[in-house]
C-alpha cells in the first residue's frame, strides 16, 4: 500500500507540474484576475451570515469592508443563508473588486474573529454551504440541467420534442416527489454509498481506499471553495459512484 500511495503521489505531482507549466504556456492559458474573490466563498459566507444576524460581533473594519459591497438593508434583503453567490452580485456588483483590494489575509482574519465571537451563526453558514455535499435526502431539489442560451446569438435549440418532453416530465416528477424520489439528485446519497462500501471493506486491506478516498477528498475539498450550492462541481458522482462500488465490493484488486 505504501508503494502504491507513494507512486500515486509522485505521478500526481508530475502530472500537475506538466499541466500547469508547459501545457498552460503552450496553450497560452491565462489565470483568473480575481483569484482571491473566487476562492473565499466559505469565509465570505461566514461573514455574511454573522453580518445578517449579529453585525455587532464583527470587527468595525470588517463591517466597513462588507458595507462597501452593500448596506445592511441590501444584505438582509439579498443574502440567503449559506449562499455567498446570492449576495455576490448585488448592488453595483463590485464584491470581487472589494475583496481583491482588501486581500485574502484580512478576509481570513475577519473570519477567524467572527468564528470566535459568533460560533453558532458561523457553524450554520458552514453547514448550509456544505449541504450540497453532505445532504443525502430532501423533499425537493432545484438543480437545473438545462443550458441557457441568449436569443439572437446565432444558436438554435433543437432536438426530439417527444423525448425532451418525456425527460422534462421525469425530471419534474423526481425533483418534487419527496425523499423517496429525490435521493438520486443529492450528492450526499452517493457519498454515503461510497463511505459505507469503503469502510465495510477496510478489514480486507487498505488498497480499496484508493477507489473512494480520492472522491471524498475532492468532494469535501471542493466544498471548502464553494460560493454557493453549485451542483455542477459534483455531478460526476452520479456517473462514477456505481462503477466504483463494483470495484470496491468486488474480490479482485
pTM: 0.74
All three cell numbers of 84? 455567498
3-state helix, strand, coil in the chain (%, to 5): 70, 0, 30
Q: From the CA atom positions of the chain, what is the Rg in Å?
A: 22
Q: CA–CA separation, 210 vs 202, rounded Å?
A: 11
Residues 6 or more apart from 100 whose CB is under 8 A from it? Answer: 34, 36, 37
Average pLDDT, the chain: 81
For the segment 211-251, what is each residue's pLDDT rounded down to a tens digit? 888 889 899 888 888 888 788 888 888 888 998 888 888 76
Amino acid at each position: 500500500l505504501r508503494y502504491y500511495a507513494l507512486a500515486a503521489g509522485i505521478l500526481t505531482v508530475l502530472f500537475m507540474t506538466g499541466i500547469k507549466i508547459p501545457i498552460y504556456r503552450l496553450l497560452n492559458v491565462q489565470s483568473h484576475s480575481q483569484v482571491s474573490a473566487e476562492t473565499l466563498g466559505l469565509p465570505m459566507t461566514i461573514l455574511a451570515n454573522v453580518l445578517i444576524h449579529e453585525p455587532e460581533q464583527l470587527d468595525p473594519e470588517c463591517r466597513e469592508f462588507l458595507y462597501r459591497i452593500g448596506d445592511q438593508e441590501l444584505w438582509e434583503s439579498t443574502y440567503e443563508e449559506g449562499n455567498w453567490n446570492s449576495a455576490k452580485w448585488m448592488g453595483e456588483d463590485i464584491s470581487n473588486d472589494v475583496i481583491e483590494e482588501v486581500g485574502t489575509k484580512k478576509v481570513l482574519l475577519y473570519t477567524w474573529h467572527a468564528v470566535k465571537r459568533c460560533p453558532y451563526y458561523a457553524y450554520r453558514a458552514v453547514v448550509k454551504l456544505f449541504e450540497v455535499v453532505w445532504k443525502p435526502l430532501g423533499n425537493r431539489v432545484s438543480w437545473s440541467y438545462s443550458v441557457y442560451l441568449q436569443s439572437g446569438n446565432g444558436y438554435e435549440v433543437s432536438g426530439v420534442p417527444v423525448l425532451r418532453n418525456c425527460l422534462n416530465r421525469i425530471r419534474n416528477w423526481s425533483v418534487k416527489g419527496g425523499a423517496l424520489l429525490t435521493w438520486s439528485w443529492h450528492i450526499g446519497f452517493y457519498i454515503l454509498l461510497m463511505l459505507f462500501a469503503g469502510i465495510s471493506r477496510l478489514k480486507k486491506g487498505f488498497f480499496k481506499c484508493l477507489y473512494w478516498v480520492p472522491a471524498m477528498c475532492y468532494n469535501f475539498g471542493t466544498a471548502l471553495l464553494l460560493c454557493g450550492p453549485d451542483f455542477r462541481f459534483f455531478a460526476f458522482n452520479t456517473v462514477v459512484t456505481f462503477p466504483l462500488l463494483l470495484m470496491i465490493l468486488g474480490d479482485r484488486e
